[in-house]
């Protein structure tokens, strides 16, 4: 298993993990964000196939207090294929991308976790995330989401 930054030209290969084509222009927006440095994406690769990903926003995000330029980045899209879950890949992805960004001067990381996603919350808390904001709501892809924002300092 190799964890590395996503080469932008391989973005479409992430559709095996999360079908970006379900939403208008989503893949195009991600490509623009990756090329501009607004988004950074790390992937877990096994035998030339992506099995996990995590991204972060470096300049802005729709979640309250999620990004402070040059200080705080917002993690999103932590996904691992079902056959590869519970093997430490999600943990390794988060540690990789936060370590990389710390080397580049970023001191804090936020992540939104849906209220009913107990497993994800447990993972983030194990990694040292603490609650920053509770009971946030946002429309995401046509549905109302309730979430908390966690922070890692």
The predicted pLDDT at position 146 comes to 84
The CATH number of the domain holding residue 99 is 3.40.630.30
Is beta strand 130-140 parallel, antiparallel or unpaired with respect to 108-114?
Answer: unpaired
Predicted TM-score (pTM) of this structure: 0.91
Q: How confident is the model at residue 140 (pLDDT cuts 50, 70, 90)?
A: low
Stronger pLDDT, 129 or 22, i.e. the higher one: 129
Determine what percent of the chain is predicted with pLDDT higher than 70.
97
- What is the separation of C-alpha 96 from the centre of its chain, rounded to a whole number of angstroms? 12
- What is the separation of C-alpha 47 from the centre of its chain, rounded to a whole number of angstroms? 22
**Residues 93-104: tens digit of each pLDDT:** 999 999 999 999
**Tally of domains in the chain:** 1
Range of 63's domain?
Answer: 2-152
The predicted pLDDT at position 22 comes to 84
The predicted pLDDT at position 97 comes to 98
């Amino acid at each position: 298993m190799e964890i590395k930054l996503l080469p932008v030209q391989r973005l479409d290969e992430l559709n095996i993990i999360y079908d970006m084509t379900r939403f208008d222009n989503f893949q195009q927006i991600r490509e623009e964000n990756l090329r501009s440095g607004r988004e950074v994406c790390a992937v877990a690769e096994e035998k030339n196939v992506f099995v996990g990903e995590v991204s972060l926003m470096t300049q802005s995000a729709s979640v309250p207090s999620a990004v402070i330029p040059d200080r705080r980045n917002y993690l999103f899209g932590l996904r691992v294929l079902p056959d590869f879950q519970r093997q430490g890949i999600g943990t390794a992805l988060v540690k990789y991308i936060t370590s990389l960004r710390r080397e580049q001067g970023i001191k804090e990381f936020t992540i939104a976790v849906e209220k009913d996603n107990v497993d994800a919350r447990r993972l983030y808390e194990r990694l040292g995330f603490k609650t920053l904001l509770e009971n946030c709501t946002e429309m995401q892809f046509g549905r109302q989401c309730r979430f908390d924002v966690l922070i890692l300092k």
